[in-house]
Chain A
Amino acid sequence: MLTQAIFGYLSFVIVVTSILVVTRKNAVHSVLWMLILFIHIAALFLFLNAEFLAAIQIIIYAGAMLVLYLFVVMLLNLKQEERIPRFTSLWPLGLLTATGLLLVLGLTAKTIIKGPPYIYTVDFVNEIGHLSLVGQVLYTEYLFPFEVLSVVLLVAIVGAIVLAKKKLRS
């Protein structure tokens, strides 16, 4: 009963704030609603026994990325943008597409067949600890994707500087 109440609260807030995120006119308001959304998604991750993911959701999304978005909104002067209508003229078509997508996804959700459970039961994860188990899987089974990911982040660092720099000296 309590778990259902908590899940109901979290899902209600997640849906409402995500609607607010895509409909606010001011981009700063959108980003701030996004902060509340991310905190509730992190709480949902805690609810699903994923402490490490809840922590990086808060640190990376809420801490780093939203600050990046806020900085960009602050750097660009968007005063005149608030006077134009917020949706494109063809917004009913977009709403129709989104509703159709929801319908199709909803129909497929009924046919989900769960596979056989794997070894990481809740008790096993709680005994060893979520972070150390994630670390074990990440550094053994997924070592190569992890290394590729470091290159992706390096490209992001260098690329962001190269793109946003005023002029490259030749």
Chain B
Amino acid sequence: MVSLNSYIVLSMIVFTIGVFGFLTRRNIIIMFISVELMLNAVNISLVAFSFYLQDLRGHILVFFIISVAAAEAAIGLAILIAFFRNKPTVNIDEINIMKW
């Protein structure tokens, strides 16, 4: 029997890797992917909690998170394409048009 803490630690590590990727990468597509990684880490911990607390409501929350993540990816990538038409780069250091 794997303990609840193992799942929490796994979820924690994946979340931290996602935070690291979001903070340090220059490519905006990989930053989006890091956000997905963080959402997946949260999903792992929610499913683990709902298994150990014998409660299905965690599964419902994971279902909602997956749907919202899909909507977020669609909108985010559409914004990215609209931006790429004006300035052909995905490097976040060059996306500074609104910088004061």
Contacts and interface: CB of A to CB of B under 8 A. Distances in A.
Contacts of A90: 24
Nearest to B77: A72
Contacts of B32: 69
A134 B63 contact: yes
Contacts, number: 229
Contacts of A49: 51
A78 to B, nearest CB: 6
B52 A114 contact: yes
Interface of B: 1-2, 4-10, 12-21, 23-27, 29-30, 32-34, 36-37, 40, 43-44, 47-48, 50-57, 59-60, 62-64, 66-75, 77-82, 84-85, 88-93
Interface residues of A, number: 88
A84 B89 CA distance: 12
Interface of A: 3-4, 7, 11, 14-15, 18-19, 21-23, 27, 30-31, 34, 37-38, 41, 44-45, 48-50, 52-53, 56-57, 60-61, 64-65, 68-69, 72-73, 75-78, 81, 84-88, 90-91, 93-95, 97-99, 101-102, 105-106, 109-110, 112, 114-115, 117-122, 125, 133-134, 137-138, 141-142, 145, 149, 152-153, 155-157, 159-161, 163-164, 166
A106 B73 CA distance: 29
A22 B51 contact: no
Contacts of B71: 152-153, 155-156
A50 B19 CA distance: 26
A142 B60 contact: yes
Contacts of B6: 7, 11
Contacts of B14: 14-15, 18
A140 B31 CA distance: 37
Contacts of A3: 1-2
Contacts of B74: 68, 156-157, 159-160
B66 A81 contact: no
A149 B43 CA distance: 17
Contact of B36 (A34, A48, A117, A166): A34
